[in-house]
Structure 1
Amino acid sequence: MNKSNIRFAIVGCGRIAQRHAEHINKQGTLVAVCDIVKEKADTLAEKYNAKAFYNIEDLLKNAKDVDVVSICSPNGLHATHSIQSLKAGFHVLCEKPMATSVYDCGEMIKTAEQVNKRLFAIKQNRFNPPVAAVKQAIDEGRLGKIYSVQLSCFWNRNKDYYENSWKGTKDLDGGTLYTQFSHFIDLLYWMIGDVKSVEAFTGNYAHQDTIEFEDTGVAILSFYNGAIGTVNYTVNSYEKNMEGSLTIFAEKGTVKIGGQYLNELEYQNIENYKIDNLPEGNKANNYGNYQGSMSNHDKVYENLIDVLTNNASISTSAFEGLKTVEIIDKIYSAAKDIK
């Protein structure tokens, strides 16, 4: 892969920033990093020969050789940091979730339009080979009318995951759907359609002394196209992740994408059609005692660079990032907390 001339800065030097830096280094140049924890900024800067900053204002004022700012800060700061970066004249790539409120997403989009800069959202599960193959089959009409869908997200996040972290706080994390499962919710919008109405129940069963919101939820969805669906999610799977799956029942077929993180095509029965020869996907983001979604940040950066250098089509627009937050907001607004 040829490296581009695109120059990047990273805001927030936590776990996911390491993944961003790795792919930036392969496809462009990391010239600046920023974190309010000096040690984190210095460590990442030294590894990639970048300049370290300790607040975003200094970065945006002094790092003039930057083209794109990658926002990897806590969820609740995504909107503020993205808007600051856009107004300073940079393109922005924002980690998931785009923000933790629909209003903030709208302000981010408006700012990008006002300053004529690109705002990229990250929806990495779209690149999982079985997901992309089923999406293609849907777009080609091979499944016919979609009747119903079942999304299951059964992961483990123990006390150690949340300890001494912004994760688990209402202001900076926002909720389990935002931090753990927003990529899964995105696929409902991308593959099935927009959500019209929601009924939901949530509860905090095993993390009462650890997090400020639910660790488990169930939701019933109706879509504008007439489909119905369920979302069943938890971070209480005993000791380890169990499943991340999406099952679709349609007029001409049934498919289930499963595995721990939508990485396997577990079942298919489609009229006069078979999905085969799927390429092997990337491994999951590995964080020691737990795993996240499939690591497709390489494809995110490939698309970003293609957009900026060749005027290619953007793989995930900011509008789609907003729609994910909108669906999560509908679930939380409808949810009845039972514990």
Structure 2
Amino acid sequence: MTTKNFALIGAAGYIAPRHMRAIKDLGHNLAVAYDINDSVGIIDSISPQSEFFTEFERFYDYAHRLKRNPATALDYVSICTPNYLHHPHITAGLRLGCDVICEKPLVPTPELLDDLALVERETGKRVYNILQLRHHDAILALRQKVAAAPADTKFDVELTYITSRGKWYLESWKGDPRKSFGVATNIGVHFYDMLHFVFGQLQDNVVHYSGETKAAGYLEYERARVRWFLSVDAHDLPDEVKGKKTTFRSIDIGGEQLEFSEGFTELHKVSYEEILAGRGYGLEDARHCIETVNVIRTAPVVAARDGMGHPMLGRLLA
């Protein structure tokens, strides 16, 4: 195996350690990391030899100089920065002569996705998106079940995801829709990708509620009718969960619960394995979920027709 050299942009974020560990566990080298925040002590336990910068100009100059020696030249740039910075950081990585691995959402709009495709062609390098639910055993099993069902079967799905966040959330970039692109994009984009991956092409996309901390709507796919609700408000947690857990995740399919709460921590490693083996998910794989969240973000809020509203909707509108 040839050891690959990586750079990491956004080293102080929540998800960055999963990228660091994936790089290390697969036997590769995190050569340099960057973040405007210097709270990156986690590097000591994963990759203490890595160079680190808090100024992008110094990081970029150092990364560019590594190209002079084939032994040190970067192969990949991994990006874990706030959503609104993904596009400029991806293009910077491509122009360094590297393939890029980026967290979702890649970009907020299909137009910016097209621009990334243009920079791919200009540089001859590729962009890969972390779409880790596509590697989850329970999701893969569900996909097989749907594929094996009669072709005219449409599954009734109820998706509920509540992940409690404190008051800090709305003060951070995540609470600014100009930077996070809204709660449905920030915490929901991987679910929309999963729904497309399992149930096929999207046929209808309706928004029933949209607020700072929660959103709800209806999606119809080739093989499913989906009522969805997403929230970062702890008050939305079911009574049986309050005081015990801060997160509630439920995907009900025709009255049966899809159990996929375990196995998340290893999925970044699997994603990296697939990318390094040439089987990673690229720009066109991400297009469907980007188009979905772009519509959700810009669509008018409408009243739910009979049977199309999520059960939480009544409580929100009461």
Match of 1:245 in 2: 250
Query: Which residue does the alignment assign to 1:319?
Result: 284
1:1-339 superposed matches below 5 A? 4-13=2-11, 14-27=13-26, 28-37=28-37, 39-40=38-39, 44=43, 48=47, 49-53=49-53, 54-55=55-56, 56-64=59-67, 65-139=73-147, 141-142=148-149, 144-147=151-154, 148-163=156-171, 165-204=172-211, 214-223=212-221, 225=222, 227-238=224-235, 240-249=245-254, 255-258=256-259, 262-263=260-261, 281-282=262-263, 284=264, 295-307=266-278, 313-314=279-280, 316-336=281-301
The Cα shift of 1:127 comes to 2.1
Q: 1:181 offset after TM fit, Å? A: 1.8
Distance 1:149 1:107 in 2: 34
State the identity %.
Answer: 24
Maintained 8 Å contact 2:132/2:271: yes
Aligned-partner SS, 2:159: strand
- Check the 8 A contact 2:143/2:199 in 1, yes or no: no
Task: Using structure 2 for the length normalisation, give the TM-score.
Answer: 0.80
Opposite residue 151 of structure 1, the aligned amino acid is: L
Summarize deviations over 1:81-126 as a string: whole Å, max 9, x none.
Answer: 1012112210000111111222212211232233221211011122
TM-score (norm 1): 0.75
What whole-Å deviation, never above 9, does each CA across 1:171-192 have from its counterpart, x for those lacking one? 2211112221211111111111
4+ runs deviating over 6 angstroms: none
Going by fraction, where is helix more abundant, 1 or 2? 2
Which residue of structure 1 lines up, in the alignment, with residue 310 of structure 2? Answer: none
Rounded to whole Å, the distance in 2 between the matches of 1:41 and 1:100 is 27
1:267 counterpart residue number:
none
Do the aligned partners of residues 34 and 45 (structure 1) sit closer, same or farther apart at CA in structure 2, a change above 3 Å counting?
A: farther
Rate the CA distance shift 1:135–1:153 in 2: closer, same or farther, 3 A: same
Deviation at 1:241, TM superposition (A): 3.6
More strand per residue: 1 or 2? 1
Shift in alpha-carbon separation, 1:237–1:145, aligned structure 2, 3 A: farther
Code of the residue aligned with 1:233 in structure 2: it is L
Q: Distance in 2 between matches of 1:235 and 1:185?
A: 17
With over 3 angstroms needed to count, the CA separation of the structure-2 counterparts of 1:229 and 1:306, relative to structure 1, is same
Deviation, structure 1 residue 166: 2.0
1:80 Cα shift?
Answer: 0.9
Q: CA deviation at 1:63?
A: 3.5
Distance 1:318 1:255, change over 3 A: farther
8 Å Cα contact 1:200-1:219 kept in structure 2: yes
For residues 184-228 of structure 1, give each alpha carbon's deviation from its aligned partner in whole angstroms, at most 9, with x where no partner exists.
Answer: 111111111222332213343xxxxxxxxx2111112233x3743
For 2:157 and 2:83, locate their aligned partners in 1 and report how far apart those are by CA, in whole Å: 28
Consecutive unaligned residues of structure 1, counting only runs of 5 or more, are 205-213, 264-280, 285-293, 308-312
Distance in 2, matches of 1:231 and 1:72, equals 26
Deviations 1:7-32 (A, max 9, x none): 11100112211221111111111111
- Cα distance change, pair 43–234 in 1 and its aligned pair in 2 (3 A): closer
SS for the counterpart of 2:179 is: coil
1:32-89 alpha-carbon deviations (Å, 9 max, x no partner): 111123x246873795111123205325423322100001111001011101211221
Mark the CA change 1:320 to 1:241 in structure 2 (over 3 Å): closer, same or farther. farther
Shift of the 132–227 alpha-carbon distance from structure 1 to 2, 3 Å rule, reads: closer
CA contact (8 A) 1:4 1:305 kept: no
In structure 2, the CA distance between the partners of 1:98 and 1:246, relative to structure 1 (3 Å rule), is same
Residues 32 and 45 in structure 1, CA contact (< 8 A), matched pair in contact too: no
- CA, structure 1 residues 125+47, in 2 after alignment: closer, same or farther (shift >3 Å)? closer
Structure 2's unaligned 5+ residue stretches are 68-72, 236-241, 303-315
CA apart distance, 1:295: 4.8
Name the structure 2 match of 1:210. Answer: none
